[in-house]
Amino acid sequence: MGFSRFRSELIIRILLLTGTIFVFVYLVNKTQLTFTTIAVLLFAVVQIMLLIRHVDKTNQLLNSFLQSIRYSDFTRTFQVESTDSSLNKLKTTLNEVIRDFQSVRAEKEESYHYLQTIIQHIGIALIAYQRDGSVELINNATKRLFQVRNLPNIQVLSSYSHELVQKLLTIKHGENALVKVRDKDDLLQLSIYGTEFKIHNRNIMLVSIKNIQHELDDKEMESWQKLIRVLTHEIMNSITPISSLSSTVNGLINDIIERAGANEQNVEITEELQEISSALSTIQKRTEGLIQFVNTYRNLTRIPTPNFTIFQVSRLLNNIYELHRAELEALNIECTLIVEPPTLELSADEMLIEQVLINLIKNSMHALEHRTNARIQLRAFLNRRGKITIQVVDNGPGILPEVLDKIFIPFFSTKPLGSGIGLSLSRQIMRLHGGSLNAFSEPEKETIITLTF
């Protein structure tokens, strides 16, 4: 309707201008009316100017509208005058189109903020980046995991883990990867999944990163417990009758020996019976030792449920120190306690955590035997992720890298008379507290055992 009105006005102006020019030509060629001819000429010039102005108004209006669309500036409006003209009709239509754009843009912004809120709320780390490592998006879980405020490029994580950076830069669409990241305070098993897509001719890689160390520890401990339950059950079923029968038979033989007395005819028989009794005593002793050995490993499946209480960490460490003070002085081992802040409190089963620390400090004392300048440090603090951390640090010979990953496996021990249950039991106690137990060692420098709650 507005365009038809504009076209009609334009046709009328062109026809009027054409008529005026025709009259001007006629006056010039057929008459001598100079003033009339000049007046007609001026009238034609005015009409031309009005026509140009009429067209320019529309062009300027359309140009302003298109510029608003180009730069997404939908705050502009076109003033509609009270006169009923085609230009006002066009302004009204353009204002309606701009309001539609504003509505669509508001919906998109709401959807964007909605998705941003969801992404930031997700507990799994998400990173979107280009293949050159330029990061376009990270969520709060990523910042917490890597302890960064911003991440302009994947290469920034090189100080955290070079292997992780290489995997992020080379991961393929749909690929799952597992990267181990170890530092002095913690051990992370990072599960990485990548998805690649294209936006505006840019290839974007979106990866999700989750620390599955706790899940792996739980599954590993569950597997060991199942194995130990089966083994101890079968071993006990076999050994217990042997121990009982050997004890019974040994008692019967001793009775026969006593009844035989000093009769010379029974001397040889008595000596043979004594040898059999001695053998049975050995069998009984070994079976009882095996039963005790099996019962020891049964402890891995019989840890009581933690009784959580809130207590000061400084009191816990002081108790451990006082318990071992005499032995530490006898071995000439210097022991220091550090708690930061001094009022640090922990919610846990104090007795079970004491048992863990006793086991760890005894391991350190054993490693420091016959070493000069021997030192043990018990320290507690909040780590980079805000978790309460207790560490037992010693300057002993350390643990070799190929052994470090095995020390928490049941039955594995580096001590000649070790049972291989202490560290496994300690790790299970920490898992029951929802925490972790990890080791870091530099041979001939230091060994750090970390309890993270």
- Rounded CA-CA distance 317/337 in Å is 7
List the alpha helices (DSSP H) in 31-82. Answer: 34-70
pLDDT for 93: 76
Residues 394-424 have pLDDT tens digits of 998 888 888 887 887 766 666 655 556 778 7
Segment among 210-214, 340-344, 350-354 with least mean pLDDT: 210-214
Segment among 208-212, 225-229, 242-246 with least mean pLDDT: 225-229
Helix H or strand E encompassing 432? helix 422-432
Mean local confidence (pLDDT), 128-155? 88
Rounded (10°) CA dihedral 270, 275, 278, 284:
-100
Threshold 0.85, pTM exceeds? no
Residues 270-328 have pLDDT tens digits of 666 667 777 767 777 767 766 666 666 566 556 778 889 999 999 999 989 998 988 99
Mean local confidence (pLDDT), 79-91? 65
- Rounded CA-CA distance 302/348 in Å is 18
Mean pLDDT score of the chain: 80
pLDDT for 201: 81
pLDDT for 334: 92
Residues 351-391 have pLDDT tens digits of 889 988 998 999 899 888 888 889 999 999 998 878 899 99
Which residue reads 């890298």 in tokens?
401
Flag whether pLDDT at 64 surpasses 80.
no
Rounded (10°) CA dihedral 351, 353, 356, 358:
-60
